[in-house]
Amino acid sequence: MNATPSLLALRMPSPVGTLTLVADAACLREIHFPKERHPSKRPLPREGENGPLREARRQLDAYFDGGLRAFDLPLNPIGTDFQREVWAMLAAIPYGATWSYGELARRIGKPDAVRAVGAANGRNPLPIVLPCHRVIGADGSLTGFGGGLPTKQFLLRLEGALPPETDLFA
């Protein structure tokens, strides 16, 4: 008997490209960018739609429209206990704010685990919803992001965490 829950994938357009959402019948499990830094080695599940996928699409659309600041979705990211601890703390980073990797490590009670926190952050299977884009370098630099730095910049600007781009010739 196969204990793996049946997964479905839903593609949705967004301002950062077509996102692919993956969910089982109860929980959102993954969000994929069109081009990913760490692409999955396993094939995506068949396309379809279920309650968690419809709700995730609705909330993501509201987020991109500027009307949603906090997601309220059933989530089940698959990872180690340490990764899941880091990912859970990502949800505590307020909309419009940024934390450094060191701050994130301190918040989970492991201040010496900055590199491990960075690695876990980079493997976050639910970007945007678990806002790994809000984690930046200690010097304020926009360090690596699974969806690419332009996507990270877009998301942080959308949330007001970065100043708007200025047109020097306007």
Rounded distance between C-alpha atoms, residue 39 and residue 23, angstroms: 17
d(CA 98, CA 73): 22
**What is the Cα–Cα distance from 155 to 123, expressed in whole angstroms?**
18
Which among 48, 14, 47, 7 has a CA at the least distance from the CA of 28?
A: 7
Distance of CA 140 to the CA centre of its chain: 19
Active site residue 132: yes
Which of 41, 40, 42, 35 has the alpha carbon at shortest distance from 18?
Answer: 35
The C-alpha atoms of residue 98 and residue 15 are separated, in whole angstroms, by: 21
d(CA 57, CA 104): 28
Assigned token pair, 45: 């599940």
CB 31 within 8 A of CB 129: yes
Options 117, 132, 156, 161, the catalytic residue:
132
Residues labelled as active-site residues:
132
